[in-house]
Structure 1
């Protein structure tokens, strides 16, 4: 479970992260990230649209993503991260863990200035 202190809630935070951050895409998720204020800790938000499925499916995907990202909180530092689920995330849930790990690695490389 993702601790409440690390959950992104305001639409302003979501918009700033998506507009001013780096974007990393994959087959099942897209990550938008930017650096935050020093000492604030990581903030993570999730976007799961109706294209993913009905309410039960969307909530299941969101819970899986929350659980997967919670395991990486220590390495996020002060990052602002928005994880957007694509429709394939519901039909291939076993591969979400690989996508999250690969996405976070690419986000760190992009923010460090290397590809």
Structure 2
């Protein structure tokens, strides 16, 4: 489980990372990264975020039933928790699960996540 200070909770932060952040897609997931240094140049944000990197998850109904979505979300949370330390302070990472994530093994999710983070310039 991610501690409260490591979770993205506000909808505008999800939207900013998904719409304006860097994106790396893989077979089971898409990772969106909004680096903290981009806040300094955005006019809508008064000051850059400080503190640790944070993560949020989007698992839509296209992934499966509620049980399946929650299982995918738990597995992704566990995988991301180990990798948040490699992200810069203040960064926002949003991981969006794709329908193939429902049948993927944890090792496949981990491989796709590592590949996406590597593509975003922050490999673990």
- TM-score norm. by structure 1 comes to 0.89
Report runs of 4+ in structure 1 exceeding 3 Å deviation.
none
Extract unaligned runs of 5+ from structure 2.
37-47
Which protein is richer in helix relative to its size? 1
Aligned with 1:82 (options 87, 94, 102): 94
- Match of residue 59 from structure 1: 70
| CA-based RMSD | 1.3
Extract unaligned runs of 5+ from structure 1.
110-115
- Match of residue 98 from structure 1: 111
- TM-score norm. by structure 2 comes to 0.83
Q: Which moves more between the two structures, 81-90 or 38-47? A: 38-47
Q: Which moves more between the two structures, 72-81 or 43-52? A: 72-81
**Partners of 2:54 and 2:84 within 8 A in 1:** no
- Match of residue 27 from structure 1: 27
The alignment of Structure 1 onto Structure 2 pairs a total of residues equal to 109
